[in-house]
Structure 1
């Protein structure tokens, strides 16, 4: 493979293929740490949604503004992030991303002190803005750091780091902010006087101050660590002669249909993923599973995702190509969505007595596992000097995390939590289209 992407330092430039095995391994480990942080900060939203719903007395729709505020920042910040990275380089840009996230964590302190949901949303938006900068750097970095046909393997390794943090985040956060007596407290809120309820909810919401203060300090330290780490600078705008010739007449990122269609795929994929994880606690509640027990269901879904990643690492490309793995996962997601909606019957599994449909929700984690890894290499293929801007367009697609849960929350209020999962079905159909055909489109036809 002719890989002409270069690594820059103050004195020399070398091709990625010329990097020593040690340098490549160190780079992958550092980016893996970044993906762990992405996962920890992102997937804690699964417990924040029902937590804020109780503490701030919200509707379903209002509670899903947690994901909206967090992920809409990706839409706002992704293109500015690409210019920031171009100006500062990867390492200084990543430090700026970590410090922006730290600011968001510290905003939780005044938000909790006043029990003001709008300030919490500002903090979440700021956290997301920092993550947008980090994601804009990390995703193209890991995609091109090695052979293209093994990109899905590398992304799967990053996915394990991300989802392992996602498994830990709701459990650790719940252990910090929830008490064994909270089940009784939640049941008694409706019988309390207004002053008693306010006092109880103020105490409940104040529990986020310590963990988010610690998180802010950790993020500040991580920013410094990455800044002075041995992580090499990658010039993503280098291109082969073949790619340069193919792109010679192109002046706009919108002249790459497979990229734009890929960004739409990312929008829908992350939307389906966050719905599968962040709504499952509420869905368990409709089966009379209390919050203290239901808090583990996001971890089950994320564990299923990790199983998919491990299969990807083992099987791609030895037994199955990454594009075929992508196709299998999108088809599986379509089938599981229909089973969530239509399957009936009670089962007892892992100590939980619940409708069988919730276990199909858990298995959506498996279906979602290799979709991200499938989309990125296909969407960035052949962009050359447009790669960095193309990556920012892809990161814009992460605002699907913000918008899709609102659709789910709206239909959950209008219909019910189970019927609202119909929003997943057209998303998976589009992903099937991109996996089968959409990624091959290289010019718009009228």
Structure 2
């Protein structure tokens, strides 16, 4: 079966089942389930940040170490994940990723029982390692399960279920993690030490059940993958081509641009969600459970944006839609910075809608035309997720410098969207190494 990739080149890339036929549907459904699962992990972090800030008595920059722990794992594990895929294949790598992810989820139990923030961070780092393996495997796999010219639409469709988790996770967090009880500094200082210790321990232990359930589900999904057949991604016949090493692959200039764009996109997304509950409390006067409800609304808009964006990609070039959405997101960031009351939350919801297609679209454009270098390019794009470890910490520090003014920190996502715009407008253009 001849498949034309986005660069216009043709290569034999049949996805073979055991009887020689091609089956895309079942593998695509299985891969899509992974997008939902790692979406749950990431979106629960948006609840964990304000919750553990309270339970472990942290400042803003300390609370963003939750993001740092998860996303730094992407930087550390991206190369080993790529090596794992090349050595053992996608199916084995996915199973390993699921089990590592589950291990991190189960580590929340001792972390909560001891109310040890460092152990929470280690558990989140382990989760991040599992997520790295899953994303390095699933993102390129989703792009090749069908005609190459539809790869952007396909990965956006799979990522729509990642966005579904952005709706589900805040409601899970609101019901099972957030207590709705907040004490002022004065009230905490006046509280007897035994009562204070019991209160803080109870807050910390609230995370145990959701993560036990999540870990159990991950183990069951890993078992399902073990017994399911996944078609091979390897082509039957490949043309002889130059295959650069890990660093020299960056001579593909569009990949380099994509790595930079993805770094700032992930940073922007994590910034927007990490401080959503805090800005809802500070700017709109909402309690934390109501704020989590609105975070779920943000997730709904994010999910809707994925589905609607996937539809628009049938009629609009992916890089054009990316550029338009960046401009709108930058304008909405200005509203978040200078607006007031519920208008700020509505602006953030709008950002969620227009931000929704950015990750999968940048990923698809970044690996366009890489052929046998796709795995290496994917590793670089997954490594760039480290932006989620670095940029939110900068935002938290900026907020602390501005006396806990949450709105002032949203200048950081604004700058990120302008950088991503440059990729959509210019940097996406494919140039080969020879060019």
If the length of structure 2 is used for normalisation, what is the TM-score?
Answer: 0.91
Aligned residues: 422
1:261 matched to 2:248: no
Residues 238, 192 of structure 1: alpha-carbon distance in 2 compared, 3 angstrom cutoff: farther
> What's the RMSD between the two structures over aligned residues?
2.3
Q: Which residue of 2 aligns with 1:383?
A: 370
From 269, 273, 278, the equivalent of 1:277 is 273
1:248 matched to 2:263: no
Q: Which residue of 2 aligns with 1:169?
A: 169
From 323, 326, 330, the equivalent of 1:330 is 326
Residues 149, 327 of structure 1: alpha-carbon distance in 2 compared, 3 angstrom cutoff: farther
Matches within 5 A, 1:28-107: 28-107=28-107
Residues 39, 205 of structure 1: alpha-carbon distance in 2 compared, 3 angstrom cutoff: same
SS of residue in 2 equivalent to 1:234: coil
Contact 1:239 1:384 (C-alpha < 8 Å) held by counterparts? no
1:125-183 per-residue CA deviation (whole Å, 9 max, x = no partner) reads: 00010010000000001112222332222122112211111211121132113346x25
From 409, 412, 425, the equivalent of 1:423 is 412
SS of residue in 2 equivalent to 1:58: coil
Q: Which residue of 2 aligns with 1:221?
A: 220
If the length of structure 1 is used for normalisation, what is the TM-score?
Answer: 0.89
1:402 matched to 2:399: no
Q: Which residue of 1 aligns with 2:7?
A: none
Distance in 1 separating the partners of 2:323 and 2:102: 38
Residues 67, 231 of structure 1: alpha-carbon distance in 2 compared, 3 angstrom cutoff: same
Contact 2:49 2:63 (C-alpha < 8 Å) held by counterparts? yes
1:439 matched to 2:433: no
1:146 matched to 2:146: yes
1:342 matched to 2:338: yes
Contact 1:78 1:392 (C-alpha < 8 Å) held by counterparts? yes
Distance in 2 separating the partners of 1:86 and 1:213: 32
SS of residue in 1 equivalent to 2:316: coil
From 308, 333, 341, the equivalent of 1:311 is 308
Q: Which moved more, 1:297-306 or 1:397-406?
A: 297-306
Q: Which residue of 2 aligns with 1:348?
A: none
Contact 1:108 1:208 (C-alpha < 8 Å) held by counterparts? yes
Residues 361, 444 of structure 1: alpha-carbon distance in 2 compared, 3 angstrom cutoff: farther
Which consecutive unaligned segments of at least 5 residues does structure 1 have? Answer: 346-353
Deviation at 1:188, TM superposition (A): 4.4
Distance in 1 separating the partners of 2:16 and 2:372: 16
Distance in 2 separating the partners of 1:64 and 1:367: 24
Which consecutive unaligned segments of at least 5 residues does structure 2 have? Answer: 5-9
Residues 239, 368 of structure 1: alpha-carbon distance in 2 compared, 3 angstrom cutoff: farther
Q: Which moved more, 1:145-154 or 1:55-64?
A: 145-154
Contact 1:56 1:117 (C-alpha < 8 Å) held by counterparts? yes
Matches within 5 A, 1:224-235: 224-235=223-234
Distance in 2 separating the partners of 1:115 and 1:56: 7
Deviation at 1:6, TM superposition (A): 3.9
